[in-house]
Amino acid sequence: MHPSPLQDRFGRIHTDLRVSLTDRCNLRCTYCMPEQGLAWLPKPQLLTDDEVLRLVRIGTERLGIRSVRLTGGEPLLRRGLPGLLARMAALPSAPELSLTTNGVGLARVAPALAGAGLHRVNVSLDTLRRDRYQELTRRDRLPDVLLGLAAAQAAGLAPVKVNAVPVRGVNEDEIPELAAFAVAHGYRMRFIESMPLDAQGAWERERMVPAEEILERLRERFALEPVPRRGSAPAEEWRVVGTGAVIGVIASVTRPFCGGCDRVRLTADGQLRNCLFATEESDLRALLRAGADDPAVEAAWRASVAGKGPGHDIGGAGFRRPDRPMSAIGG
Ligand code: SAM
Ligand code: SF4
């Protein structure tokens, strides 16, 4: 079957699908969720492996989705993840497969994930100091994450990307150290502006470290030259002069890239979201469970994308926080 593009009314073509496999997490990053965790989705509400696989097949076969990123919550908490990945990789319309993880437990499963057909991995790491890591994530797991990074690289899940969210007064002083660590290990560092998507609603613009400032801090340590921007990639990238190392900055707040957005998101309970900041969702799980055929699911998916807005306006007068936090949407 030849898919026809998943285009919205602004001409944006959507080829990237983010799939949240669970809303649960084994960390409690302060910029993401409260210490006590959240009211997790009950299991019957979660998409089963068969349902996830069917939606990935419909997306890739009929709608032109070419890349699928598995996320959460913490996707490594999903039972049977290598098996689910292997089934996605075996689809005739198999997409490029990547995963965003906090890296806890990655050391043990990286070879199985690579063997199942995973191509790339992004590991979130906001500090290299063990005491600070414990404060920031409320768990003492930094050594596991460092082992996970090395194991991912050894398993060929390349390029291994390291994602950090600098927060003022918490870890912004570590921006150069994190970058130097990534450069030394051959990981690709990316800094992400913090967004008002924490479950507690405690985000403050003043504590977000804007891209300009991230770059200023990087320039104290490195000579940087811009890498020409490719298509819809959200990261603006800089090459460390004289090396092959590339550092990315994702300026979702101060330089939004909505005009080039090519993403749709599927929550762990089967709700399609046409934007991270969408305030409406399309219930694909209900369709699947009501026995809808592939064309009906395709039509609902296209209708959702057709209704996509031009972009978010964080901090603007009309901005409304989405009802779900990042961990329940799938970051
Ligand atoms: N648990 C996995 C992890 O941490 O990589 C996957 C899900 S997590 C929600 C995905 C990414 O979102 C992580 O890189 C995390 O740092 C980032 N994130 C979480 N809350 C955020 C916020 N309020 N603003 C910006 N990024 C955030
Ligand atoms: Fe968990 Fe990722 Fe949120 Fe941290 S950012 S609490 S690891 S979902």
How far is C-alpha 54 from the chain's CA centre?
A: 21
Q: Tell me if 3 is assigned to some domain.
A: no
Whose CA is closest to atom 8 on ligand 2?
A: 73
Ligand 2 mean position to 30 CA, how many Å? 9
- β-bridge partners, 71: 20
CATH number for 115: 3.20.20.70
Q: Would residue 186 count as lying in a domain? A: yes
Q: Which residue minimizes the CA distance to atom 3 of ligand 2?
A: 32
Predicted local distance difference test score (pLDDT) of residue 104: 98
Residue 201's pLDDT is 86
> Residue 57 domain-assigned?
yes
- Burial label for 202, CB within 10 Å (0-12, 13-18, 19+), is exposed
pLDDT of the chain along its 331 residues, tens only?
778 899 999 999 999 999 999 999 999 999 999 999 999 999 999 999 999 999 999 999 999 999 999 999 999 999 999 999 999 999 999 999 999 999 999 999 999 999 999 999 999 999 999 999 999 999 999 999 999 999 999 999 999 999 999 999 999 999 999 999 999 999 999 999 999 888 888 898 999 999 999 999 999 999 999 998 777 778 899 999 988 899 999 998 998 888 999 999 999 999 999 998 888 999 999 999 999 999 999 999 999 999 998 888 786 767 778 887 888 888 7
Choosing from 32, 70, 161, 276 the residue with most ligand 1 atoms within 8 A of its CB, the one to mutate for a pocket test is 32
Ligand 2 and 22: CB distance under 6 A = no
Burial of 256 (0-12, 13-18, 19+ CB in 10 A): middle
Minimum CA distance residue for ligand 1 atom 20: 32
Is there a domain that residue 158 lies in?
yes
Which ligand has an atom closest to residue 76 CA?
Answer: 1
Among 38, 102, 145, which is best to mutate for testing ligand 2, by the most ligand atoms less than 8 A from CB? 102
Query: What's the order of all strands across the beta sheet hosting 263-266?
Result: 224-227, 236-240, 246-250, 188-192, 161-164, 120-124, 96-101, 67-71, 16-20, 263-266, 271-273, 282-283
Using CA atoms, how far residue 189 sits from 72, 184, 235, 287, in Å, is: 20, 11, 10, 40
Ligand 1 midpoint to CA 95 (Å): 23
How much is the pTM?
0.96
Alpha carbon distance 185, 7 (integer Å):
39
Concatenated DSSP letters of 89-154: HTSTTPPEEEEEE--TTHHHHHHHHHHHT--EEEEE---S-HHHHHHHHSS--HHHHHHHHHHHHH
Distance in Å, CA 326 to ligand 1 centroid:
7
- Residue closest via CA to ligand 1's atom 21 equals 32
In a domain, 177, yes or no: yes
Residue 5 domain-assigned?
no
Give the number of other CB atoms < 10 A from CB of residue 168. 15
Q: Is residue 118, in this structure, part of any structural domain at all?
A: yes
Q: CA–CA separation, 165 vs 175, rounded Å?
A: 10
Domain that holds residue 73: 16-329
The number of folded domains in the chain is 1
- Compute, in angstroms, the gap from residue 244 CA to the centroid of ligand 1: 27
C-beta of 197 in contact with ligand 2 (< 6 A): no
Q: Which of 28, 41, 70, 163, when mutated, tests ligand 2's pocket best, judged by the most ligand atoms within 8 Å of its CB?
A: 28
C-beta neighbour count of 216 within 10 angstroms? 11
Closest of 162, 168, 169 to residue 128, by C-alpha: 162
